[in-house]
């Protein structure tokens, strides 16, 4: 399951990995969210997104396998800890099968730092992205110089209100089923109400463990390869790319792990000297 989730599709065809490139919530009477400006949808380099500078988002990182192939994203939570999705790392027999690339905007270059993973913590309640708790923390073999991103805390509940402007980032596919991007991209999109997301995914969405983001008519979303990457609002990590149905399809918003729900557990891992392998 880990392979299908992070690469392309998981159970019942639901996309469980996201890249920033296509479109999220579309024109569905069931999914609520602001409409995107037509010019944005028509002219963006990726539908609803654009290239991003790593200098402005230094905490954005990506995960590679032993062959150097990027498969997921992540966020620096401290100088040697990375927050990502549990489905990106669950099932790996050894933490060293994963490496983290920090400070590299273009995957075709050798900029930044490549760090080995010495330990992984996967939320103990995680079973599937569709059941919540899709969060993991990786411990690196070294400290990196890039700045970490603060995580949402209880005082940041307002950031989950419908219409809050958020930014998703990643190196994933620019269109559903397409190739991964070679450069970091970002997409600005609004948080969707819990009601709207429950209507889009009536049997799967959990307001406690998940949050949705995207436009009512689609045009902005994360996609294959973006799983584990950040959803940021007001300088805080509020979501982790988790799953969705397709990329930017009408009525199918992107679903992110609700960081606020897991703040205490994530913070303990960020503060610990090591994580369990």
Supply the residues annotated as catalytic. 87, 134, 227
For the purposes of burial, counting CB atoms within 10 Å of the CB of 175, is it exposed (0-12), middle (13-18) or buried (19 or more)?
A: middle
SS3 238: strand
Dihedral sign for Cα 102, 104, 107, 113, please: negative
Q: How far apart are CA 263 and CA 251, in angstroms?
A: 29
> Is 97 within 8 Å of 64 (Cβ atoms)?
no
End-to-end Cα distance, the chain: 20
For the record, the structure tokens of 144 come out as 């990196």
Tell how many helices (H) and how many strands (E) occur in the chain.
5, 13
> Is 263 within 8 Å of 154 (Cβ atoms)?
yes
How distant, in Å, are the alpha carbons of 66, 123, 129, 138 from that of 276?
20, 11, 21, 9
């Amino acid at each position: 399951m880990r392979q299908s989730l992070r690469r392309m599709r998981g159970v019942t065809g639901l996309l469980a990995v996201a890249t920033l490139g296509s479109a999220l919530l579309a024109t569905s009477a069931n999914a609520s969210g602001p409409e995107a400006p037509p010019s944005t949808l028509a002219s963006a380099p990726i539908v609803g997104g654009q290239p991003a500078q790593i200098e402005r988002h230094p905490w954005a990182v990506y995960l590679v396998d032993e062959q150097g192939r990027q498969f997921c994203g992540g966020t620096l939570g401290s100088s040697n800890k990375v927050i990502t999705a549990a489905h990106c790392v669950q099932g790996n027999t050894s933490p060293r099968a994963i490496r983290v690339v920090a400070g590299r905007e273009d995957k075709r270059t050798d900029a930044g730092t490549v760090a080995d993973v010495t330990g992984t913590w996967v939320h103990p309640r995680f079973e599937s992205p569709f059941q919540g708790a899709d969060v993991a923390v990786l411990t690196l073999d070294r400290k990196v110089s890039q700045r970490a991103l603060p995580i949402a805390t209880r005082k940041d509940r307002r950031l989950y209100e419908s219409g809050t402007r958020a930014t998703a980032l990643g190196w994933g596919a620019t269109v559903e089923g397409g190739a991964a991007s070679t450069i970091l991209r970002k997409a600005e999109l609004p948080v969707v109400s819990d009601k709207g997301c429950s209507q889009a995914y009536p049997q799967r969405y959990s307001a406690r463990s998940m949050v949705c983001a995207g436009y009512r008519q689609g045009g902005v979303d994360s996609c294959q390869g973006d799983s584990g990457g950040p959803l940021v609002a007001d300088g805080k990590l509020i979501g982790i790319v988790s799953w969705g149905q397709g990329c930017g399809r009408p009525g199918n918003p992107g679903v992110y792990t609700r960081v606020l729900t897991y703040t205490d557990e994530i913070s303990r891992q960020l503060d610990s000297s090591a994580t369990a392998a």
